């Protein structure tokens, strides 16, 4: 059974109790808060393993809570799963760029939320891989030391930017990267990387990956991820 502590920050009592019941049933230790201010206090006092954070909160909203926590060395390590309403793609992107780990959209299935929580906790439990260590994902091998990508033991002819994008995504399968995060992490010298050009890069990269192209998934309105 899970022993991790999860903080729920949600002002709607029915939703808060629904999340609390389902996560507690999975063995998680649960604490909860109704406002952003209370959530910040609980996060600092209890240092939970993960926070389920509603973005629409009275007073300090969820984005501000996320910003404060990720700027504080004491709490920046805490994983955050955002809860958003439909049509809040802008807030989702902003939250991910502030350092949130994932999100679910209302109305959501409790099973989906539990799966997202477990996935994020699993990611956090892994040690950060060496940036220069080869990454193997099925038939794909990415070797940053040699700046080489092999697909079914055959080298792929990638530009420097395409290599950087693929390496970034493949190192953290399942993680959603916004276009701006990709730009910030991959500053290609062979091609001017902008948010708009990221989509162009993805088209070219998928074409070179051939039948393996679906390993890179588009998260509509948000960005991209490598299939977990």
pLDDT for 104-152, tens place per residue? Answer: 988 889 999 999 999 999 887 765 556 778 899 999 999 988 889 999 9
- pLDDT for position 189: 57
Domains in the chain with CATH codes: 5-125 (3.40.50.2300), 135-226 (1.10.10.10)
Contact call for residues 172 and 226 (beta carbons, < 8 A):
yes
pTM: 0.70
Spell out the residues 6+ positions from residue 105 whose beta carbon is closer than 8 angstroms to its own: 83, 84, 85, 86, 88
Contact call for residues 5 and 31 (beta carbons, < 8 A):
yes
Rg (CA), the chain: 19
Return d(Cα 108, Cα 105) in angstroms, integer: 6
Please, what is the average pLDDT of the chain? Answer: 89
Contact call for residues 170 and 183 (beta carbons, < 8 A):
no
Q: For residues 81-108, give the mean pLDDT.
A: 87
pLDDT band at 50 (very low <50, low <70, confident <90, very high): very high
- pLDDT for position 129: 58
Contact call for residues 200 and 146 (beta carbons, < 8 A):
no
Output DSSP code: residue 7: E
Q: Strands, E, within 24-134: which ranges?
A: 29-33, 50-54, 79-85, 102-106
Q: What percent of the chain has pLDDT over 70?
A: 94
Q: For residues 150-172, give the mean pLDDT.
A: 91
- pLDDT for position 133: 83
Q: Is 132 exposed, middle or buried (CB count within 10 Å of its CB: 0-12, 13-18, 19+)?
A: exposed
- Looking at the DSSP bridge assignments, the partners of residue 142 are 135, 149
Return d(Cα 67, Cα 110) in angstroms, integer: 26
Return d(Cα 10, Cα 92) in angstroms, integer: 16
């Amino acid at each position: 059974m899970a022993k991790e502590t999860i903080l729920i920050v949600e002002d709607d009592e029915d939703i808060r109790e629904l999340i609390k019941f389902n996560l507690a049933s999975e063995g998680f230790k649960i604490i909860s808060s109704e406002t952003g201010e209370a959530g910040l206090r609980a996060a600092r006092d209890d240092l939970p393993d993960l926070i389920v954070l509603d973005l629409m909160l009275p007073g300090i909203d969820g984005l501000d809570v996320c910003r404060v926590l990720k700027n504080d060395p004491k709490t920046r390590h805490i994983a955050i799963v955002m809860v958003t309403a439909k049509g809040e793609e802008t807030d989702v992107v902003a939250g991910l760029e502030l350092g949130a780990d994932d999100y679910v959209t209302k109305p959501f299935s409790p099973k989906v939320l539990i799966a997202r929580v477990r996935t994020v906790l699993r990611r956090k439990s892994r040690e950060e891989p060496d940036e220069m260590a080869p990454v193997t994902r099925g038939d794909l091998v990415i070797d940053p030391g040699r700046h080489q990508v092999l697909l079914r033991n055959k080298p792929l002819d990638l530009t420097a930017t395409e290599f950087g994008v693929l390496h970034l995504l493949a190192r953290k399968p399942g993680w959603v990267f916004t276009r701006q995060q990709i730009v910030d992490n991959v500053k290609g010298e062979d091609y001017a990387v902008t948010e708009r050009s990221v989509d162009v890069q993805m088209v070219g990269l998928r074409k070179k990956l051939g039948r393996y192209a679906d390993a890179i998934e588009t998260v509509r309105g948000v960005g991209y991820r490598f299939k977990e």
